[in-house]
Chains A and B, each alone.
Chain A
Amino acid sequence: MTNIEKQHIIYSNKLAGEFYFISILQEAHSCGLLNKSDIENIQLQCIDLLAYKSERYNMGDSSSIRIDTAESLMKSILYTIGIYLKSIPNRDKALSELITVKIADLYERGIELVNVKFKAARRFYNMAKKNKLDTLNYSYNFTLNENGIGVFFKEYNSEFEAHDIPANIDYQLCNTVENLTGIEYIQTYLFHLYLENEFCRNFAPENIHKLLYGYDKDYAELLINIFEQVLTAALGCALANTNIRELYLSKKDVQYLYRKLVAYDNKELIIALNIAMKSIFEELNIIEHSLKDYIERSLTKIASNIEIALKLNTLDKVFIRPVDPNLVPKIYFESSAKMDDKEYRSLIEELLNCRYSSDKLKIIKEKVNSFDDLDDLLLDTRLEEEECISLFNTLGDIEIAALLKRHPFESDIKAVDLPEEERAVSLYLENYIKGLPVVRQEEIKKIADGIEGF
């Protein structure tokens, strides 16, 4: 006779991780394991507990509370009991405890567990801070600091708001924490973050920086997951037989990967990624089981990204080519000396009194010799869009790029803070550049990106 597995009456896949207590009650009721009087008895005990909690919440000053506060207290009670019931491995035994043990006692046991988990979460937090990555990414750094997830350890109230997550968490993990809330969420989030850090620490921060810079030069401000990018690059290196630790894939490597992977179906791709993953484990000497499991779980997401990229022929967006920001050519733009204030004032007066656009352009061309003066003049003379465009037509690519660097295209929300004149110049410039041939547009943007110290 082969393995005999005990059959449970309540199926675990029908139980919600977030609202475990409620779901076990619902399941038990629908299976006929709890009758109406059992449910009523549990409800009554919960109400008694809520009454006691609301009294403690009001510190005995008030017998009534606002409904939203009562709901929150009840959620906290149910969540805490759920934590205890979840800790019982046998679901049928959990149900029998629910019937035989007083709700107040189950709650007390739940509170004890919540406190244990709180201590464990704090430990994970310290571990994650200890193996924190040296990166410029803002959301990562902010989430890990005292004002991010650190707030949780000051604000968490296990007695009245055990189900709540009072923390600022911007950084998204590769494997999103689902179906959990309160202390369970934080504990899992921090443990996963620790694992992600642990993996990324196998690579030099410089290599990660180049990889992320290749992904987007503004990666510091993006809500990206560092681990996912690093793991994908490492898998790419393993598949292309290049040095995993370098995280470097050339254009040829990506082309090779395309030719190799495009022939695979989903199963073959997963197998190939699994083999690559094992070679990463060997190369980086990864032996910790939890880290191995976490990486394995991440493969599904990466495989799906690769599949989509293969279909769209955009594999270079998945397997990123690292870029060394120090090697990107830089342009140092220096404006010549500005005219003196008196002269500038009279020029502006002249331009404001001038009726014809052609005359305005002529005056500007004759009298303005410095880029800084030109920039000031655009803001001070409030030229019409057509006049601005005529003026832009007289400028070369470098000047346009310098103007673009100084007045970048902002989204409507960001532009709200800008003065009206600046918004207008930015808009006219955007319209002008959009009207240029694509090749010239790209050339201007490239120059603007390379301009330094401006």
Chain B
Amino acid sequence: MNLSSSLIEKHAVDEIVKCNDITLKFGLSLTLQEAMELVKTRTLSLKCNGRIEFGGGVIGKIIKEFCDSPYIYKANYVETLNELIEIFYYYKNETLDLISDNELIAFMKNAFDGKCQGSLELLYGRELEKLAHNLRYGYGANYSEYADCEEENDDDQY
């Protein structure tokens, strides 16, 4: 039996649109068209990463987690969400499913608002790469083998 992807997508769009009730108070909302675009991004990311998901699932969680970020506003909302979705699924595989959805999203939000200061490139190429490396090698999520050097460098900068 083939999984009916259109049925899954329709179900997901409905769930995403429902998130507007929460995000509206931050001045953010998604149209039906934009919700469909997010679902398409998700479908593509899932396909590229060889995964499958049911319901709105992660998109809803990402929206709810990131909607209060100071670096997200109306103009970059959809674009950022699209990128966050891609990044999420890529690192879901890279972390070998060793971290739960909620933990990964919380880590992303924390890094995005903190060390990355709203930079998706830093989030993707540095913080999450470090996280994936740590988990693959059995270290804690926040372990850093260059912790001392980083501190020294930080001192030099200031």
Question: Which residues on A are within 8 Å of B, measured CB to CB?
Answer: 22, 25, 40, 43-44, 46-47, 50-51, 54-55, 58, 60-68, 70, 74, 78
Residue B142 lies at the interface, judged by CB distance under 8 Å to chain A: no
Query: B89, A64: Cβ atoms under 8 Å?
Result: yes
Query: B100, A64: Cβ atoms under 8 Å?
Result: no
Residue B54 lies at the interface, judged by CB distance under 8 Å to chain A: yes
- Chain B 108-140, CB-CB to A under 8 Å as 1, else 0, gives 000000000000000000000000000000000
Query: A22, B100: Cβ atoms under 8 Å?
Result: no
In angstroms, Cα B101 to Cα A450, docked, is 69
Query: A50, B50: Cβ atoms under 8 Å?
Result: no
Residue with the greatest number of chain A CB neighbours at <10 A, chosen from B4, B52, B92: B52
Q: Which residues of A contact B61 (CB under 8 A)?
A: 63
Query: A50, B100: Cβ atoms under 8 Å?
Result: no
In angstroms, Cα B55 to Cα A171, docked, is 46
| Residue of A with least CB distance to B3 | A47
Quote the shortest CB–CB distance from B39 to chain A (angstroms).
13
Query: A22, B54: Cβ atoms under 8 Å?
Result: no
Question: Which residues on B are within 8 Å of A, measured CB to CB?
Answer: 1, 3-4, 7-8, 46, 50-55, 57-58, 61, 89, 92-93, 97, 100-102
Residue with the greatest number of chain A CB neighbours at <10 A, chosen from B3, B54, B55: B54
Partner of B4 from A47, A54, A64, A68 at Cβ < 8 Å = A47
- Can you list 7 A-B contacts (CB < 8 A)? A61-B100, A63-B58, A63-B61, A64-B57, A66-B50, A67-B51, A74-B1
Quote the shortest CB–CB distance from B21 to chain A (angstroms).
20
Quote the shortest CB–CB distance from A92 to chain B (angstroms).
21
| Residue of B with least CB distance to A53 | B54
Chain B interface mostly: mixed
Query: B8, A47: Cβ atoms under 8 Å?
Result: yes
Partner of A64 from B3, B7, B46 at Cβ < 8 Å = B46
Partner of B54 from A54, A61, A67 at Cβ < 8 Å = A54
Q: Which residues of A contact B54 (CB under 8 A)?
A: 47, 50-51, 54-55, 63
Query: B1, A64: Cβ atoms under 8 Å?
Result: no
In angstroms, Cα B61 to Cα A62, docked, is 11
Chain A interface mostly: helix
Q: Which residues of B contact A67 (CB under 8 A)?
A: 50-52
In angstroms, Cα B98 to Cα A58, docked, is 10
Partner of B52 from A40, A44, A55, A65 at Cβ < 8 Å = A65
In angstroms, Cα B96 to Cα A66, docked, is 10
Quote the shortest CB–CB distance from B95 to chain A (angstroms).
10
Query: B97, A62: Cβ atoms under 8 Å?
Result: yes
Quote the shortest CB–CB distance from B118 to chain A (angstroms).
26
In angstroms, Cα B7 to Cα A451, docked, is 74
| Residue of A with least CB distance to B103 | A61
In angstroms, Cα B50 to Cα A74, docked, is 16
Q: Which residues of B contact A22 (CB under 8 A)?
A: 1
| Residue of B with least CB distance to A55 | B54
Q: Which residues of A contact B93 (CB under 8 A)?
A: 66
Query: B55, A63: Cβ atoms under 8 Å?
Result: yes
Query: A63, B101: Cβ atoms under 8 Å?
Result: yes
| Residue of A with least CB distance to B45 | A64
| Residue of B with least CB distance to A63 | B57
Q: Which residues of B contact A74 (CB under 8 A)?
A: 1, 3
Quote the shortest CB–CB distance from B106 to chain A (angstroms).
13
In angstroms, Cα B2 to Cα A25, docked, is 13
In angstroms, Cα B55 to Cα A25, docked, is 26
Query: A66, B1: Cβ atoms under 8 Å?
Result: no
In angstroms, Cα B54 to Cα A44, docked, is 12
Query: B55, A51: Cβ atoms under 8 Å?
Result: yes
Partner of A78 from B1, B7, B89, B102 at Cβ < 8 Å = B1
Query: B57, A46: Cβ atoms under 8 Å?
Result: no
Query: B4, A40: Cβ atoms under 8 Å?
Result: yes
